[in-house]
């Protein structure tokens, strides 16, 4: 590093010295460069304490400044100063118009931030600080401006020209060119700016809001993908209705547009009136998209739509407040998906993700509170913590306040802060003000990092009929925070009697929320006639690790009796974890493995009980994942975890094969594909049964998988069969169908990505070589983040056995890719570092090798801020 990147602190926040009232932009898209003409109406911020400071605009080093004028006076070179990251002008008046003309080069933009080209179309990504790669600006979210945007381009190559707001004028220009002007009446920060220019097809629909306003809905994509847009449109309309019903929020412009692009650093972006989506989060068709893909489209369309209120109308004061919009919006989209599908399944999926990825982040070198106190590169803070833990924190407020008060709080928040850029504290304050409930201690969730641990014990006094739960909380140290104060934690509990019935609690209900605030606290329940079995942390009411000394028999009992669907699943997970952990110990000691037959019996009961919530059966019968078992280990023994889990699956499969075959046959119905909860559950259960059956090693089960692969009329069944065969010892069969699959789908990039990922995550020996060969394959492109994620992250995150190979080859490979991507696309490079940041969790030999690779990245030359921050914090 020639120069240590600067650390930015929340405590240094100051209001902007200038405001930009109006922003007029003109983009001239030329073959090799784009000319950006900006006309900004600027005035000093009356709230700023400095009265005569210079105007300092952010601007990337690659911007070529062609002209700068203040109130129509062109400035000479000595009148302004250009640095690597800014443009400063001294002695500006209190109110003035600044004009700049800047040249930028979208074709050379491989970082995919600012204005770039994706497969021949122009598009933008400005959040968080990408606008400064387009033109000089006050690129911070508390500067909100009204934008007018004119785009001029070649008419044949770029017939569609889009920006935020409403189209207000258009016309032809010289040289077969045309132009369109867009006006967005809502003041917005620059991070919500968007521009799209391309040869795009679209579908259109109408939506009438609750108050009777008509909104035009358009979804744009390449012509060949026109048949894959309907589900996004359906999802959009459902989201609009849901936000009216549940939050009382209506859409505000006359037009809402979504554009699908193939090169995109993340899932999607909520630009005002013009969302830009990764194709993977918008295109859906039964033949090419799995059930998980359909649900992703529904969830992401909703998420970006909900941002129109939680993010756009009310935005963030600064980037430390990112969870203000992201945590809240994830909570909103999770509730939407829960309402549209199976609530319990959605909760199980979200908790699984939180407990593997977010808990691991909270225990590692990048741990940060949901409102970080500092950062080097904000792009590194679009994390599981900000998003998923942030959503859990909002969910806890919902639990503490109750639905009605929460709605009053959100109404107050939206009314009070409409059109403003605010803080997480403003959000909590509105919740407090509307409900009258004290959240002062609760605010610690915003400033303290780490996952709290709750140890629970209990006492039963039979003579007094009093049952007492004793809860003790602690939170491990995280970087920069050695001591933590006790959190305010809602712990939702129920008590089960021997018959399996819920007991009535003193609040007159069968579930009660205990508010844990002290380091240690006792909660007593009276009139409890027998010693109960507690059902703790129902619906996962707080993002914590909760320990209670359940006996295996208690867990089997809860699996079949708990009235809380989430906790039934949780009991099965706990039973699985307990059994697997014991077997891992046996494996490490070199002992023979014997499976506790209570697990087999419990699984058999679930498999054969048709009265159960069928959407949950496949979840209950899925053993804790290798990722979750790793997260729970002090020292992660990758090989033992894999071997033991495989042993348990095989043992279960052999013992339960007739039940599994019956389930498979029952669920293997031919019906027209629909992505609804019931049919998704049926396919999930069928494919779960198949996954067990394949492990029996019986040739007839391979036949079953191959038949499913050949006969499938939808991608869910076809992909499940493909993955099972590829991840099996039947290498020949795998080779044949991989080839067949590729030939069939090679013109569908999203399907090919899955084909890459299935091979990258193959636990068999040789996967790394396959990955290296695939990097040379015609379908791979290092500049396309979806390809990188499928192949490289597919290997480093979904293939622990091979990534952690004892010869260090997996680590070396990943470091090589990070070094290469550091120049091409720093955001993607930085994301790839994640598995290496976890080095402290592995045995000494692996630790050494992982550290060495981090050091090699560190020494590899000039690092981007993104990669520098993650690698240096990991080595610290
Ligand atoms: N707000 C965007 C994420 C932007 C990421 C910038 N590196 C998508 C979303 O959360 O909705
Ligand atoms: Zn978001």
CA of 315 to the centre of ligand 1 (A): 13
Q: Are residues 465 and 329 in the same domain?
A: yes
Question: What values do phi and psi take at 260, rounded to 5?
Answer: -95, 125
For residue 266, give the ligand nearest its CA. 1
Q: Are residues 31 and 178 in the same domain?
A: yes
Q: Sheet holding 533-536: strands in order across?
A: 512-516, 489-496, 533-536
Structure tokens at 4: 């240590």
CA of 268 to the centre of ligand 1 (A): 7
Q: Are residues 192 and 333 in the same domain?
A: no
Q: Are residues 170 and 316 in the same domain?
A: no
Choose one of 528, 545, 562: the last residue of a domain.
545
| Contact (CB, 8 A) for 353 and 389 | no
Tell me the CA distances in angstroms from 435 to 249, 406, 412, 428, one per residue in order. Answer: 20, 7, 10, 11
CA of 236 to the centre of ligand 2 (A): 15
pLDDT in tens, 736-749: 999 999 999 999 99
Q: State mean pLDDT over 813-819.
A: 99
Q: Are residues 393 and 537 in the same domain?
A: yes
Structure tokens at 264: 């995109």
Ligand 1 contacts CB of residue 270 (under 6 A): yes
Q: State mean pLDDT over 247-267.
A: 98
pLDDT at 534: 98
| Contact (CB, 8 A) for 1 and 71 | no
Residues 6+ apart with CB under 8 A from 153: 27, 28, 29, 122, 161, 177, 178, 179, 197
Strand 533-536 vs strand 545-548: parallel, antiparallel, or unpaired?
unpaired
Closest CA to 331 of 401, 266, 261, 283: 401
Residue 800 included in any domain = no
Q: Are residues 504 and 364 in the same domain?
A: yes
- Separation between Cα atoms, residue 25 and residue 414, nearest integer Å: 29
Write the residue with the smallest CA distance to atom 9 of ligand 1: 269
* 374 bridge partner residues: 9
Residue 643 included in any domain = no
Closest CA to 698 of 642, 658, 639, 643: 658
Choose one of 171, 199, 227: the last residue of a domain.
199
Q: Are residues 33 and 155 in the same domain?
A: yes
Write the residue with the smallest CA distance to atom 1 of ligand 1: 269
Question: What values do phi and psi take at 316, rounded to 5?
Answer: -90, 140
Question: In this model, does residue 3 exceed pLDDT 80?
Answer: no
Q: Are residues 499 and 360 in the same domain?
A: yes
Closest CA to 334 of 306, 301, 299, 304: 299
Ligand 1 contacts CB of residue 277 (under 6 A): no
Residues 6+ apart with CB under 8 A from 807: none
Residue 819 included in any domain = no
pLDDT at 4: 83
Write the residue with the smallest CA distance to atom 4 of ligand 1: 127
The helix or strand, by DSSP H or E, that contains position 453, with its residue range, turns out to be strand 453-461
pLDDT at 1: 43
Annotated catalytic residue within 17, 113, 304, 631: 304
Q: Sheet holding 195-198: strands in order across?
A: 114-118, 121-125, 195-198, 160-163
Closest CA to 568 of 518, 612, 513: 612
| Residue bearing tokens 């609040």 | 507
Annotation says 304 is catalytic: yes
Question: In this model, does residue 299 exceed pLDDT 50?
Answer: yes
CA of 302 to the centre of ligand 2 (A): 10
308-312 — which CB contacts under 8 Å span 24+ positions? 308/249, 308/251, 308/252, 308/270, 308/272, 309/243, 309/247, 309/249, 309/414, 311/270, 312/186, 312/188, 312/192, 312/270, 312/272
| Contact (CB, 8 A) for 587 and 593 | yes
**DSSP secondary structure string, 415-440?**
HHHTT-EE-HHHHHHHHHHHH----T
| Contact (CB, 8 A) for 231 and 283 | no
Structure tokens at 492: 């939702």
Q: State mean pLDDT over 640-660.
A: 98
Cis peptide before 128 (omega within 30 of 0): yes
Ligand 1 contacts CB of residue 266 (under 6 A): yes
675 SS3 class:
coil
Q: Pocket of ligand 1, candidates 281, 382, 384: which has the most ligand atoms within 8 Å of its Cβ, to mutate?
A: 382
CA of 760 to the centre of ligand 1 (A): 27
Question: What values do phi and psi take at 58, rounded to 5?
Answer: -80, 145
Closest CA to 289 of 334, 228, 340, 345: 228
Radius of gyration over alpha carbons of the chain, in Å? 28
CA 202 to chain centre: 27
- Separation between Cα atoms, residue 180 and residue 218, nearest integer Å: 17
Q: State mean pLDDT over 33-49.
A: 98
Using a pLDDT cut of 70, give the percent of the chain over it.
100
- Separation between Cα atoms, residue 569 and residue 797, nearest integer Å: 25
The structural domain count of the chain equals 2
Ligand 1: atom nearest CA of 266 is: 5
Q: State mean pLDDT over 833-857.
A: 98
Q: State mean pLDDT over 717-724.
A: 98
98 SS3 class:
strand
Q: Are residues 387 and 526 in the same domain?
A: yes
| Contact (CB, 8 A) for 874 and 365 | yes
pLDDT in tens, 795-806: 999 999 999 999
Write the residue with the smallest CA distance to atom 10 of ligand 1: 326
Strand 121-125 vs strand 195-198: parallel, antiparallel, or unpaired?
antiparallel
Q: Are residues 337 and 479 in the same domain?
A: yes
Question: What values do phi and psi take at 27, rounded to 5?
Answer: -105, 125
Residue 132 included in any domain = yes
- Separation between Cα atoms, residue 489 and residue 521, nearest integer Å: 11
Ligand 1 contacts CB of residue 128 (under 6 A): yes
Write the residue with the smallest CA distance to atom 3 of ligand 1: 269
Phi-psi region of 147 (alpha: psi -120 to 50; beta: other; left: phi over 0): beta
Q: In 51-155, which residue ranges form alpha helices assigned H by DSSP?
A: none
Residue 248 included in any domain = no
Domain with residue 482: its CATH number is 1.10.390.10
CA of 382 to the centre of ligand 1 (A): 7
Question: In this model, does residue 260 exceed pLDDT 70?
Answer: yes
pLDDT at 34: 98
For residue 304, give the ligand nearest its CA. 1
Residue 872 included in any domain = no
Exposed/middle/buried for residue 292 (C-beta within 10 Å: 0-12, 13-18, 19+): middle
Helix-, strand-, coil-residue percentages of the chain, each rounded to 5 = 45, 20, 35
Total H helices, total E strands in the chain = 31, 31
Residue 426 included in any domain = yes
Closest CA to 211 of 181, 187, 240: 240
pLDDT band at 448 (very low <50, low <70, confident <90, very high): very high
Ligand 1 contacts CB of residue 495 (under 6 A): no
Closest CA to 305 of 266, 361, 252: 252
pLDDT band at 125 (very low <50, low <70, confident <90, very high): very high
Strand 34-44 vs strand 95-104: parallel, antiparallel, or unpaired?
antiparallel
pLDDT at 51: 87
Ligand 1 contacts CB of residue 28 (under 6 A): no
Domain with residue 138: its CATH number is 2.60.40.1730
The helix or strand, by DSSP H or E, that contains position 810, with its residue range, turns out to be helix 809-824
Residue 599 included in any domain = no
Mean pLDDT score of the chain: 98
Angle between helices 565-588 and 552-561 (to 10 degrees): 150
Tell me the CA distances in angstroms from 145 to 35, 41, 419, 448, 608, one per residue in order. Answer: 21, 9, 10, 34, 61
pLDDT band at 21 (very low <50, low <70, confident <90, very high): very high
Q: Are residues 193 and 315 in the same domain?
A: no
pLDDT in tens, 66-120: 999 999 999 999 999 999 999 999 999 999 999 999 999 999 999 999 999 999 9
Structural domain of residue 195, as residue ranges? Answer: 8-199
Q: In 28-92, which residue ranges form alpha helices assigned H by DSSP?
A: none
pLDDT in tens, 357-406: 999 999 999 999 999 999 999 999 999 999 999 999 999 999 999 999 99
Choose one of 488, 514, 545: the last residue of a domain.
545
Closest CA to 705 of 716, 690, 695: 690
For residue 325, give the ligand nearest its CA. 2
Ligand 1 contacts CB of residue 304 (under 6 A): yes
Ligand 1 contacts CB of residue 303 (under 6 A): yes
């Amino acid at each position: 590093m020639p120069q240590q990147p600067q650390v930015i602190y929340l405590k240094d926040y100051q209001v902007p010295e200038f405001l930009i009232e109006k922003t007029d932009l003109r983009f001239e898209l030329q073959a090799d460069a784009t000319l950006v003409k900006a006309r900004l109406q600027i005035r000093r911020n009356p709230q700023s304490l400095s009265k005569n400071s210079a105007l300092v605009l952010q601007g990337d080093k690659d911007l070529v400044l062609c002209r700068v004028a203040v109130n129509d006076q062109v400035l000479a070179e000595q009148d302004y100063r250009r640095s690597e990251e800014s443009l400063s002008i001294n002695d500006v008046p209190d109110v003035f118009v600044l004009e700049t003309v800047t040249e930028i080069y979208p074709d050379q933009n491989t970082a995919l931030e600012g204005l770039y080209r994706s497969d021949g179309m122009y598009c933008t990504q400005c959040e968080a600080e990408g606008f400064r790669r387009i033109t000089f600006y006050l690129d911070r979210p508390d500067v909100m401006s009204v934008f007018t945007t004119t785009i001029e381009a070649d008419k044949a190559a770029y017939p569609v020209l889009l920006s935020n707001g409403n189209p207000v004028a258009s016309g032809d220009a010289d040289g077969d060119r045309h132009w369109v002007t867009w006006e967005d009446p809502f003041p917005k920060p620059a991070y919500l700016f968007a521009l799209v220019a391309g040869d795009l097809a679209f579908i259109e629909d109408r939506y009438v809001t609750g108050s009777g306003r008509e909104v035009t809905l358009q979804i744009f994509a390449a012509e060949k993908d026109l048949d894959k847009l309907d589900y996004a449109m359906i999802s959009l309309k459902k989201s609009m209705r849901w936000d009216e019903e549940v939050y009382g929020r209506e859409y505000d412009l006359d037009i809402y547009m979504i554009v699908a692009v193939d090169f995109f650093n993340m899932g999607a972006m909520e630009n005002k009136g013009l969302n830009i989506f990764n194709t993977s989060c918008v295109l859906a068709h039964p033949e090419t998209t799995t059930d998980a893909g359909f649900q992703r489209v529904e969830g992401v369309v909703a998420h970006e739509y909900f941002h129109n209120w939680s993010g756009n109308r009310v935005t963030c004061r600064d980037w430390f407040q990112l969870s203000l919009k992201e945590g809240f919006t994830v909570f909103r989209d999770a509730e939407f998906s829960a309402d549209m599908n199976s609530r319990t399944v959605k909760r199980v999926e979200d908790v699984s993700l939180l407990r593997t990825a977010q808990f691991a982040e909270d225990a590692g070198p990048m741990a940060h509170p949901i409102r970080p106190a500092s950062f080097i590169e904000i792009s590194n803070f679009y994390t599981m913590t900000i998003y998923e833990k942030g959503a859990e924190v909002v969910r806890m407020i919902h639990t503490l306040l109750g639905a009605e008060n929460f709605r009053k709080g959100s109404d107050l928040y939206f009314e009070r802060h409409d059109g403003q850029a605010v803080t997480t504290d403003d959000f909590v304050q509105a919740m407090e003000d509307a409900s009258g409930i004290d959240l002062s201690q609760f605010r610690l969730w915003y400033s303290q990092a780490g996952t709290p641990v709750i140890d629970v014990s209990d006492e039963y006094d039979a003579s007094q009929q009093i049952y007492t739960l004793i809860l003790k909380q602690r939170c491990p140290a995280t970087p920069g925070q050695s001591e933590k104060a006790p959190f305010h934690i809602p712990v939702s509990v129920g008590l089960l009697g021997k018959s399996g019935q819920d007991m009535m609690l003193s609040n007159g209900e069968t579930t009660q929320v205990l508010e844990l605030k002290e380091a240690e606290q006792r909660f007593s329940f009276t009139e409890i006639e027998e010693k109960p079995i507690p059902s703790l942390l129902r619906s996962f009411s707080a993002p914590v690790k909760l320990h209670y000394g359940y006996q295996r028999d208690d867990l089997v009992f809860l699996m079949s009796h708990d009235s809380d669907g989430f906790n039934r699943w949780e009991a099965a997970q706990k039973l699985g974890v307990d059994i697997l952990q014991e077997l891992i110990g046996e494996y490490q000691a070199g002992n023979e493995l014997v499976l506790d037959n209570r697990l087999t019996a419990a699984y058999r009961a679930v498999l054969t009980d048709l009265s159960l919530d069928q959407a949950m059966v496949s979840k209950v019968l899925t053993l804790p994942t290798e990722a979750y078992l790793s997260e729970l280990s002090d020292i992660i023994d990758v090989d033992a975890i894999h071997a033991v889990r495989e042993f348990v699956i095989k043992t279960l499969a052999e013992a339960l094969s007739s039940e599994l075959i019956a389930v498979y046959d029952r669920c293997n119905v031919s019906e027209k594909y629909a992505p609804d909860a019931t049919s998704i559950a049926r396919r999930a259960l069928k494919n779960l049964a198949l996954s067990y059956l394949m492990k029996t090693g019986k040739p007839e089960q391979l036949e079953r998988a191959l038949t499913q692969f050949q006969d499938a009329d939808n991608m869910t069944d076809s992909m499940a069969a493909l993955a099972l065969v590829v991840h099996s010892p039947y290498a020949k069969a795998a080779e044949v169908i991989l080839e067949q699959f590729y030939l069939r789908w090679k013109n569908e990039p999203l399907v090919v990505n899955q084909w890459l990922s299935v091979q990258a995550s193959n636990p068999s020996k040789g996967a790394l070589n396959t990955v290296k060969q695939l990097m040379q394959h015609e379908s791979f492109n290092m500049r396309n983040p979806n390809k990188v994620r499928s192949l490289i992250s597919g290997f480093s995150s979904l293939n622990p056995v091979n990534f952690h190979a004892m010869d260090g080859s997996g680590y070396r490979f990943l470091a090589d890719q990070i070094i290469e991507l550091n120049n091409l696309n720093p955001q993607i490079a930085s994301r790839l570092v994640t598995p290496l940041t976890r080095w402290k969790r592995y045995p000494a030999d692996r630790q050494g090798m992982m550290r060495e690779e981090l050091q090699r990245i560190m020494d590899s030359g000039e690092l981007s801020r993104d990669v520098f921050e993650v690698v240096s914090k990991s080595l610290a």
